[in-house]
Structure 1
Amino acid sequence: MRLLVTGLNGTLAPRLAQAARAAGHAVIGWNRVAVDPEDEAASARWLAEQQPDAIAHLGMGSARFAGWLAAHCERLVFTSTAMVFGGAPDGPHDVADARTATDDYGRYKIACEDAIRAASGRAAIARIGWQIDPSQPGNNMLMALDEWQRREGRVAASRAWTPACSFMADTAAALLALIEQPQPGVHHLDSNAQEAWRFDELVHALARAHGRDWQVVATEDYRHDQRLVGGPCGLPPLSARLACLARLGG
Structure 2
Amino acid sequence: MRILITGLNGTLAPRLAEAARAAGHEVIGWDRKAVDIENEALSAAWLSAQSVDAIAHLGMASARFAGWLASRCPNFLFTSTVMVFENEPDGPHDVADARNSSNDYGRYKAECEDAVLLASERPVIARIGWQIDESRPGNNMLLTLDEWQRRDGCVKASSAWTPACSFMADTAAALLRLIERPLPGVHHLDSNADEAWRFDEVARALAARFGRDWRVEAHQDYRHDQRLVGGPSGLPPLSARLTRQ
* TM-score grouping bracket, smaller chain normalisation: over 0.9
Match in the other structure for 2:45: 45
Inter-partner Cα distance in structure 2 for 1:74 and 1:145: 39
**1:129-208 matched pairs, under 5 angstroms:** 129-208=129-208
Match in the other structure for 2:16: 16
Number of residue pairs matched by the alignment: 245
After superposition, what is the alpha-carbon deviation per residue over 1:30-86, rounded to whole angstroms, capped at 9, x for unaligned? 011111112111110110111111000000000000000110001011000000001
After superposition, what is the alpha-carbon deviation per residue over 1:114-168, rounded to whole angstroms, capped at 9, x for unaligned? 0000001211000000000111111100000001111111110000100000000
Unaligned runs of 5+ in 1: none
Unaligned runs of 5+ in 2: none
Letter in 2 for 1:5: I
Match in the other structure for 2:4: 4
Match in the other structure for 2:112: 112
Match in the other structure for 1:213: 213
* SS of aligned partner of 1:32: coil
Inter-partner Cα distance in structure 1 for 2:24 and 2:123: 23
Assess if the C-alpha contact under 8 Å between 2:190 and 2:233 holds in 1.
no
Inter-partner Cα distance in structure 2 for 1:72 and 1:140: 31
After superposition, what is the alpha-carbon deviation per residue over 1:164-190, rounded to whole angstroms, capped at 9, x for unaligned? 000000000000000000100000000
Letter in 1 for 2:15: R
Normalised to the residue count of structure 1, the TM-score between the two structures is 0.97
**1:65-84 matched pairs, under 5 angstroms:** 65-84=65-84
Assess if the C-alpha contact under 8 Å between 1:188 and 1:234 holds in 2.
no
Inter-partner Cα distance in structure 2 for 1:9 and 1:207: 27
Of 100-109 and 229-238, the range deviating more from structure 2: 229-238
Match in the other structure for 1:239: 239
Letter in 2 for 1:175: L
Assess if the C-alpha contact under 8 Å between 1:64 and 1:112 holds in 2.
yes
Inter-partner Cα distance in structure 2 for 1:23 and 1:108: 32
